[in-house]
Structure 1
Amino acid sequence: MTLALAMVLDAIFGEPKWLWDRVPHPAVLMGRLISFGEARLNRGANRRAKGVGLIVALVAGAVILGLGLSALGPLVEIVVAAILLAQRSLSDHVVDVARGLRRSLEEGRRMVARIVGRDVEALDASGVARSAIESAAENLSDGVIAPIFWFVVAGLPGMLAYKIINTADSMIGYRTEKFEDFGWAAARLDDVVNWPAARLTTLLISLFHLSGTAVDVARRDARLHRSPNAGWPEAAMAGVLGVALSGPRSYDGEIRDEPFVNADGRRILDSSDIDVAVAVLWRAWALALVCVVIGAAIL
């Protein structure tokens, strides 16, 4: 029941600002460690090999740390696992976008800029809502279901290893001149470790809503997404909401003409659609919790 208690603890308390204003969050510490390694290794020849070496060292360190923390007992495991989950914080951030958009378009843009990497200055209300919903779906998989899955598979060491891989991908896993070689291992390994969670998230969204449409949309359109994994939960979310997601967007002033997921869905969105997406997040989380509790009872 360790994982179930961690899920509930995260859902209740999230990421208390009073705590993380005083001590660095584990994700911040992971980021600092990755930045330290990148600054010293991402230079000269053999950058791909150096990137592989960094990822191997990071994962090994995460596993060793996880084993050490697990040895301290279930209470420590519960607290650490709760910190590494992001259901409450994800929900809060997405809700902030809906609230901001109801106040003004500019406030909606400001709130959504906190959770997406695309340019937001030219987004209309539909663009703000679409961006928030896409982020909700993708981060449900990356920030909640994937850590849960890897805890089930390999306990706290597995969850920590997943989090360091995912953090490394978000920092160095880019196809740019600076990171294409050095971040290759981080990006490829992140694709591998997120593969099962992306499909599980699709099933959780679809099963709770008894939506064959969500499954059909995911099977048809997930491959249209730029990511081999993010397209699955986004397509399922699009199917449940009956909206079109993804599509053209701008990064660093450059328009990327990406196809829509569920292109036949509604394209005029507003804050109420974000509210529905948040409800979907909690329904998928609830079904995941039920599965974890049943699994723990059986085993």
Structure 2
Amino acid sequence: MIVALSMILDAIFGEPKWLWDRFTHPAVLMGRCVSFVDERFNQGRARKLKGMLSFGALCLGFGLLGVMLEALPFGVVDVVIGAILIAQKSLVEHVAAVASALRLSLDEGRRRVGWIVGRDTKEMDRAAVSRAAIESAAENFSDGVIAPIFWFALLGLPGLLIYKITNTADSMIGYRTPRHEQFGWAAARFDDVLNWVPARITALLIALTTRPLPSLGDIRKDAALHRSPNAGWPEAAMSRVLRIALSGPRSYEGEMRHYPFVNAGARENVTPDDINRACRTLWQAWGITFVGVVLLALF
């Protein structure tokens, strides 16, 4: 029931600005730990081995921290930390803000979507901005909501903290760049492992929000088009639920990448209204998840 209480607390309060203006967010602390090992050990020879050992130490440290915190009485700490590290409300707010900004002007939409995606936004049209927001919504629902809930429910606070430090490390050093391809290898691969099951659960949860149920075979086929072994699953499911095409060509650091469309042949003229529909879908999928968590706790 601790997980369910954390979900409710997050859904009500999200990320209160007044709190994090006064205190350091745990995710920021995790980021500082990753930055420390990157600056301290990502140099010289044997970078892959150094990265594996550094990442292993981070996982061990946060896992032990979770064990100690979990040993405190009453479970209040577990509930609060769970609420902080489950990001449903803040995710929906950030995605919905793109729709609001895009209704004001294309430039505002580009600026706002730039807060939540890593691709170039300067030349995006309205449909590209809308697609980017929806793709971010689907992918982040998997790794920012469902995966933390999954590992929290399965392994308690240690599982949640290990997942979050892994996800943080992957987002910071898990890139195939000259600096991080070797040092961040372990973080990137372990993140793939930890997200494998949650990503597919997320796709099912999103699919369950509509009738008739989208073809799971079509979702699996579209997911295989994605460059990530996991991110394509929630994106493919969302495209089927909204009956739109997602992904497609986009630019990174001035270089155009000709990625295939997911749900190719569906409507490509995606709008702010579709962004709002995606946000409603996230809450519906959250509701299904909440019911499932409560039933598991009871039975």
For normalisation by structure 2, the TM-score amounts to: 0.98
In the TM superposition, 1:139-158 aligns within 5 A as 139-158=140-159
Q: Which residue identity lines up with residue 46 of structure 1 in the other structure? A: A
Match of 1:137 in 2: 138
Q: Which residue identity lines up with residue 45 of structure 1 in the other structure? A: R
Match of 2:280 in 1: 279
User: 1:206, 1:240 within 8 Å by CA — same for their partners in 2?
Assistant: yes
Q: CA deviation at 1:30?
A: 0.4
Match of 1:42 in 2: 42
The alignment status of 1:120 with 2:121, answered yes or no, reads yes
Q: Deviations over 1:53-112 (max 9, x none)?
A: 011101101111111111113111100100000000000000100000011111111110
% identical equivalent positions: 59
> In 1, Cα distance between the equivalents of 2:39 and 2:285?
39
> In 2, Cα distance between the equivalents of 1:210 and 1:49?
49
The alignment status of 1:185 with 2:186, answered yes or no, reads yes
Q: Specify the SS of the correspondent of 2:259.
A: coil
Count of aligned positions: 298
User: 1:205, 1:237 within 8 Å by CA — same for their partners in 2?
Assistant: yes
In the TM superposition, 1:97-246 aligns within 5 A as 97-213=98-214, 215-246=216-247
> In 2, Cα distance between the equivalents of 1:235 and 1:211?
16
Q: CA deviation at 1:219?
A: 1.3
In the TM superposition, 1:73-84 aligns within 5 A as 73=73, 74-84=75-85
> Structure 1, unaligned stretches of length 5 or more?
none
> In 1, Cα distance between the equivalents of 2:50 and 2:170?
15
User: 1:214, 1:240 within 8 Å by CA — same for their partners in 2?
Assistant: no
Match of 1:32 in 2: 32
User: 1:214, 1:236 within 8 Å by CA — same for their partners in 2?
Assistant: no
Q: Specify the SS of the correspondent of 1:213.
A: coil
Q: CA deviation at 1:210?
A: 3.7
> In 2, Cα distance between the equivalents of 1:12 and 1:28?
22
User: 1:214, 1:238 within 8 Å by CA — same for their partners in 2?
Assistant: no
Q: CA deviation at 1:214?
A: 5.2
> In 1, Cα distance between the equivalents of 2:166 and 2:215?
29
Query: Residues 171 and 101 from structure 1, CA distance in 2 versus in 1: closer, same or farther, beyond 3 angstroms?
Result: same
Match of 1:58 in 2: 58
> In 1, Cα distance between the equivalents of 2:237 and 2:290?
19
User: 1:141, 1:197 within 8 Å by CA — same for their partners in 2?
Assistant: yes
Q: CA deviation at 1:216?
A: 3.4
State the Cα RMSD in Å.
0.8
Q: CA deviation at 1:215?
A: 2.2
Q: Deviations over 1:206-227 (max 9, x none)?
A: 1232443252331111010011
Q: Specify the SS of the correspondent of 1:55.
A: helix
Q: Specify the SS of the correspondent of 1:250.
A: strand
> Structure 2, unaligned stretches of length 5 or more?
none
